Amino acid sequence: MKFAIFGNTFQAKKSKHAENLFRILQSHNAELCICREFYHFLASDLHFQMPPAELIDDGDFEADMVISIGGDGTFLKAASRVGSKNIPILGINTGRLGFLADVSPEEMEETFQEIYNNHYKVESRSVLQLQCDDKQLMKDPYALNEIAILKRDSSSMISIHTAINDAPLTTYQADGLVISTPTGSTAYSLSVGGPVIVPHSKTIAITPVAPHSLNVRPIVICDDWKITLNVESRSHNFLVAIDGRSESCCECTQLNISKADYSIQVVKRFNHIFFDALRNKLMWGADIR
């Protein structure tokens, strides 16, 4: 098998797990291609003995499987590089929570044995697409987790005029609005009061950030519907964050958000159950009395 490897270049102490990863893959005679930035970080900064590998720039690569070693942020970056290639992504968690990257370093040996025995599952996760006339935003308009509209340059809230399939929904007076996939429902959306959504539910959640009205609540819609946003701000600009990649945008820009025409394939172990992750990682339903 050929693996493309992307990793976290910010936490040196956690990168030691990459050495064990390379050892395991070499024991299976795997073919490797490694993100150039990650390769140089390991070789130059940490002085690792690197295995023979092809170096990856941008999205120009082919592989049987992608490996993300880091946290969920690293996984999102890897997903951005994979795009519509339909290559399944395995997340090895050296970060904190690890919802997308959920294989622990201690499980690597067993996990790759299962992969080589074809004993794993692949889950298809929907992706959001932004369309607008802002060239900077359109360089990478896809989000596996969420697209967030946020206030910028002012402590005053913004007004977000929202329509669904061209029919008016409401105007959110808030610090922002989070448009989330089911995958992203346990990320930023959850932290601002959004619902937990099962990954395969074919929905989109719309959750306001610090709304000015008590009667504004999150809403869940079908993922084949189009969302149109027009923003008013006292500073005449606002922030658009696409899976954490943020750009300033002027208030004259109309934003159209819909489901992308491709999905991201996520590798899971056969014993993975979503509800177990909720209980174990988020303490969902735990009674601490």
DSSP per residue, the chain: -EEEEEE-SS-GGGTHHHHHHHHHHHHTT-EEEEEHHHHHIIIIIS---PPS-EEE-TT----SEEEEEE-HHHHHHHHHHHGGG---EEEEE-SSS-SSS-B-GGGHHHHHHHHHTT-EEEEEEEEEEEE-S-TTGGGS-EESSEEEEEE-SSSS-EEEEEEETTEEEEEEEESEEEEE-TGGGGTHHHHTTPPP--TTS-EEEEEEES-SSTT---EEEETTS-EEEEEE-TTSEEEEEETTEEEEEETT--EEEEEEEEEEEEEEETT--HHHHHHHHH-TT----
**Catalytic residue annotation:** 72
